[in-house]
Amino acid sequence: MTCFYHQDASAVGLCKSCNKGLCATCAVDVGNGLACQASCVERVRSLNQLVERNIRLTPASEQLLGKQPRGYLLSGVFGIVAGGLFMMLGQNMDGVFRIGITGIGAMAGLLGIWQTYVWWRLRDSAKSEE
């Protein structure tokens, strides 16, 4: 592979932002990757900071989400209730609307049942960890 800017020079790596091949003259090492000397240095530094922040926050996010199974229960109950209401509403309509509204209600109800099942599993796994 050759340098994007100097076709007679061999590339030593790729810019982390734009993926252009860079020779030793054009490449700037910004820590965790290379950048085009003139245009991509700040963008690559921002990408590196974003990745580092996400790595630091991932365990905290997983811990917080894992401790909130109540959200699954609430969305499950809402889905079941909304699904039932849509199915009842669909029964009072004619033709295609009846099928469509009833189908939406059935899907919302099934999604609610699934969310409730996920809550049940999370609750059981939390009990077994204690």
What local confidence, expressed as pLDDT, does residue 87 receive? 93
Higher pLDDT residue, 36 or 66? 36
Residue 10 pLDDT exceeds 90? yes
Whether pTM > 0.85 for this model: the answer is no
- Bridge partners of residue 15, in order along the sequence: 34
Average pLDDT, the chain: 88
Which among 72, 70, 18, 74 is positioned nearest to 44, based on CA atoms?
Answer: 18
pLDDT tens, position by position, 33-63: 999 987 899 999 999 999 999 888 888 776 7
